[in-house]
Amino acid sequence: MRKNLPDKEFFVGKQIPARPDVTITRFVDSGNDAHLFKAHSDQLARDVACKIIPRANLVHGPDGQATWRAEVHKADALQSKTVVKFEDIKEWKAEADQIDCVVLISEFVEGQNLRLFINSKRAEVSISFVMLWLETMLNVFNEMKLRNISHGDIHWGNILVEDRSSYDLMGPRYVFRVTDFGVADATSDQRFRDDYLQLAEVLSHLLAAVDYQSLSAKDKYIFNKLRHDFLSRHLTENDTTRDPIARQPDKLFRRLKEIGTEFEKWAAEQPAQLLSPFDFLSCEQIGDAPALLRALYSDRFLGLSEIESRNNVVVTGPRGCGKTTVFRSLSLRQKIRVNEADPSEIKYIGVYYRCDDLYFAFPRYRLPTRTEAFDLPIHFVTATLLAELLDALEVWGAQHFQEEFKRVESQAAIKMWNVLNLEPPHEPGSETFKALVVELEKQRRKAAERQRFANDSNRGLGKNFGVEVLQRACGVLLGSFSFLNNKPFYFFIDDYSIPKVTKDLQADLNRLLMQRTSFCFFKLSTESPVSFCKSDIDEKTYVENREFVLHNLGLVYLHSKPTPKMGFIEDVFRRRISKTVTAFPVKELGELIGSNPKQNNNDYARKIRGTNKIQHWGKETLCKLCSGDIHYVIGVVGDMVKSAGGPAEIEKVTTVPRLGPEFQNRAIRGAAGNFLKNLRAFPRYGERLVAIVESFGNVAHSFIKYRDSKNEKGNPPHQDTRIEPYELFVLSDEAQRLYDELLRYSVFIEDFRGKSRRGKVVPRLYLRRFLIPHFNLTFSMRDSIELEPADFELFLLDPRKFEDTYRFRNPQDAMDAEEKTLKDKPGQQLPLELNEGGDHDPSPNS
């Protein structure tokens, strides 16, 4: 209730009678007991604030003493620069106008109080803003406690957000200030409110202004800590036996500072455990469990050195081949979380980004009709990558380079705001990485929202980051912090695959992600060579080995020598077995499935021809089944264990292998069938893909049965697990889509290395290795089914007809086909054996 307040208009434009150098210039606000004005002092040559309180509202002693005066001067004892102190106290009497007031003169703080700030700039109330505010307040409370001073009337009207830009070149531009110390005690309306409860109330106003749903995981965590710990307990509890840090500003301050670090620990402590060595088959399943990821990550991964090279690299390979595991493991964030971020071990600053985020923000992206909308995805990705980079760098910097980071952060942040061409928020803490991260997250959201109206010319699209911004920002960081010397930035962009990240979207983003500098490198993982677009919207074509290195993990594994491949697979199992929380009966893969080194593909082929099925078992077979898809290898061994009755049954077996060949063989064949069943359910083309691969398998099997390899000693059966076109083919749109999908799901693995019989550079298509047993073929890589382009098109579009044409039903069929070929195409044989160099069968004893 306002009381005794004179007409505020009376004061405006007048000099204070007892301070004629001070002229009231404008009204600012009113409280219950006083008016607040802005005034100008000629003597001081600056503005001052004047709080005018009717004498009747002031506290007096029993004998009329001006006890209020002592209350107002209480704040003089405080040294904190946050506190706004009264510089002078004067009387203002004008009997004719019934004015009898006291004027409290203090410095004038340029800026808004928190109430106005929240109401006018709600979107700028971020978690870092709230944290900084609470730190500031607890710092003041600490001094208040030491000097036994209370404020008595803390509310969002007397906490100010000061803009110091008009006079201060050095410090932060925006700071929090607290006014009206002692005023509550000095006025007659004695509302001796508890400072902590009032602090809690202001905190609740601030938290209510935060847009919870737009927060990052870290900020949501902090939000809930502030809400549940500070608001509901530490600040509102006054019994220290119930809460030992209640009313202890120094402890509260320390507790507050711990929350960020606590989040990092919380994030690293997901209780994901291996209950069996076959849990968590893929990195996606591991999820956010850094310790588990670290434990399962094998640095014997084939192809790691190429990924870590200072090149832009496009990594491709079958699903589950470890792309995500490697990319995530190489990020600075992961290394921090598993305590492996010692600066001496960090050769580059890795930032991991998974593109499903992009897929959700830009679903089915088509290039907009408005050219100014082209940069929206660039804006989104730049903001996202930079936010993650800055956040990780802040944590790392604070851990290992605290002094330098603290010293340089503000200047680096100012430069970053300039590079981003963004106005820093008008609030304390804007010159920090935290504020930059908050703003970049906002920019991400804006880009995604604007994209919905990308083709609507009535909607503005705002300013968007250009393709140069990320590089420039990285340049600023390198130039600012000495600890980043000679440490390039590696951006690991995972699952950058068509169709989720559409061709148009890739063409747009490639302007950013295919840039080449000496300090920024992009590592793109994509499902298959055809799920990556090799051009951009400026019609620039990116050439392999010039703009980027294509690293096909499927081929790496396919053509690898057995020793490193086996070493990797055994290491993966060793790690998994050792990390399993319940004891597993064996320690090594070899003990579980045994060794079966004497495998001969020609003998196997003859067995197949003799209607005997081969029994697949042993670690060498497992190695051959792997096309890089390590998750399959783990899964299939898991199936073997399961079909044998589980670990308890294996424990009872005392001979090696613990798992009999029959269990191994059944699981290997079952896994292939399961893959085909799942493939059938995949969107759009699933059933057709299954029909294609089945037709290939059936044709290839008929070759083993009825056709001989002519240029081999002993005329062994023809063993085809790949297709080789004679000529480079141009497929119809529909056939091309099917071809791309076959590669996308790695039903076949494409290899461009080598030439066809006719000397043409053509892709060879290798059947995914673990499908070989399903079709009763051998692992030999000697023979090919060779096709004319038209037959290849037929194979894709009408696999049943293809099978009818090519499949041999008996030996006579095979002979007839060969005679026909010789007649039609003299000098050629069908099916033809591969005869050029450079190809080999990696199986040791074939």
Partner 1 sequence: MIQVQTPDERLAALKKPAVETIKKLALNSEDCLVVCAGFEDRALGFLRTATSFKTPFNVLAIQYLPLLKENKSLEIRKISNQADLILDEVTYDREDPAGFGVLFLERIHAVRGRTIIDISGMSRLLIVQLLVALSYRDQGFRDCFVAYAEAQKYSPNQEETEAMLAKYDLDPAFSILFLSSGVFDVTVVSELSSSAPSSGQTRLIVFPTLDADQMTALRAELQPSRYTVIEGIPPNPRNKWRIGAIAAINRLEEMPNTERMKASTLDYVETLNCLLSVYREHGIRDRLLISPTGSKMQAVAVGLFKACVNDVQIVYPTPRGFLFPDSYTSGVGALHFLSLTPFTRNGNAS
Interface residue list for partner 1 (CB under 8 A) = 200-201, 204, 207-208, 212-217, 220-221, 223-224, 227, 231-232, 236, 267, 270, 279-282, 284-288, 319, 353-354, 356-357, 359-364, 384, 387, 441, 444-445, 447-449, 451-452, 500, 670, 673-674, 676-678, 680-684, 686-687
Q: How far is the CB of 82 from partner 1 (least distance, A)?
A: 23
Tell me the Ramachandran region of residue 155: left when phi exceeds 0, alpha when psi lies from -120 to 50, beta otherwise. beta
Nearer of residues 192 and 360 to partner 1, judged by Cβ: 360
Q: How far is the CB of 267 from partner 1 (least distance, A)?
A: 7
d(CA 748, CA 212): 46
CA 525 from chain centre, in angstroms, equals: 14
Q: How far is the CB of 286 from partner 1 (least distance, A)?
A: 7
Q: Are 658 and 716 in contact (CB under 8 A)?
A: no
Q: How far is the CB of 219 from partner 1 (least distance, A)?
A: 8
Q: How far is the CB of 157 from partner 1 (least distance, A)?
A: 18
Q: Which residues contact 172 (CB under 8 A, 6 or more apart)?
A: 164, 410, 428, 429, 430, 431
d(CA 833, CA 842): 17
Q: How far is the CB of 315 from partner 1 (least distance, A)?
A: 17
Q: How far is the CB of 62 from partner 1 (least distance, A)?
A: 37
Nearer of residues 84 and 259 to partner 1, judged by Cβ: 259
Q: Are 664 and 636 in contact (CB under 8 A)?
A: no
Q: How far is the CB of 227 from partner 1 (least distance, A)?
A: 6
3-state secondary structure of 629: coil
Nearer of residues 352 and 396 to partner 1, judged by Cβ: 352
What SS3 string covers 771-812?
HCCCCCCCCCCCEEEEECHHHHHHHHHCHHHHHHHHCCCCHH
Question: Quick check: bond before 831 cis, omega within 30?
Answer: yes
d(CA 703, CA 194): 90
Q: How far is the CB of 651 from partner 1 (least distance, A)?
A: 23
Q: Which residues contact 372 (CB under 8 A, 6 or more apart)?
A: 461, 464
Nearer of residues 777 and 817 to partner 1, judged by Cβ: 777
* Other C-beta atoms lying within 10 Å of the C-beta of residue 266: 14
Q: Are 619 and 590 in contact (CB under 8 A)?
A: yes
Nearer of residues 384 and 480 to partner 1, judged by Cβ: 384
Q: CA nearest 404: which of 490, 325, 343, 327?
A: 343
| DSSP tag of 228 | I
Nearer of residues 160 and 385 to partner 1, judged by Cβ: 385
Q: How far is the CB of 360 from partner 1 (least distance, A)?
A: 5
d(CA 493, CA 45): 58
Nearer of residues 171 and 673 to partner 1, judged by Cβ: 673
d(CA 652, CA 644): 11
Question: The tokens of 510 are what?
Answer: 């490639």
Nearer of residues 275 and 815 to partner 1, judged by Cβ: 275
Question: The tokens of 654 are what?
Answer: 């005392």
Q: How far is the CB of 231 from partner 1 (least distance, A)?
A: 6
Q: Are 730 and 768 in contact (CB under 8 A)?
A: no
Nearer of residues 124 and 279 to partner 1, judged by Cβ: 279
d(CA 470, CA 512): 8
Q: How far is the CB of 372 from partner 1 (least distance, A)?
A: 18
d(CA 208, CA 125): 10
Nearer of residues 350 and 657 to partner 1, judged by Cβ: 350
Q: How far is the CB of 391 from partner 1 (least distance, A)?
A: 10
Question: Quick check: bond before 377 cis, omega within 30?
Answer: no
Nearer of residues 74 and 225 to partner 1, judged by Cβ: 225
Question: The tokens of 636 are what?
Answer: 């299939």
Nearer of residues 638 and 799 to partner 1, judged by Cβ: 638
Strand locations in 326-462, DSSP E?
349-354
Q: CA nearest 515: which of 478, 486, 479, 542?
A: 542
Nearer of residues 42 and 258 to partner 1, judged by Cβ: 258
* Other C-beta atoms lying within 10 Å of the C-beta of residue 768: 25
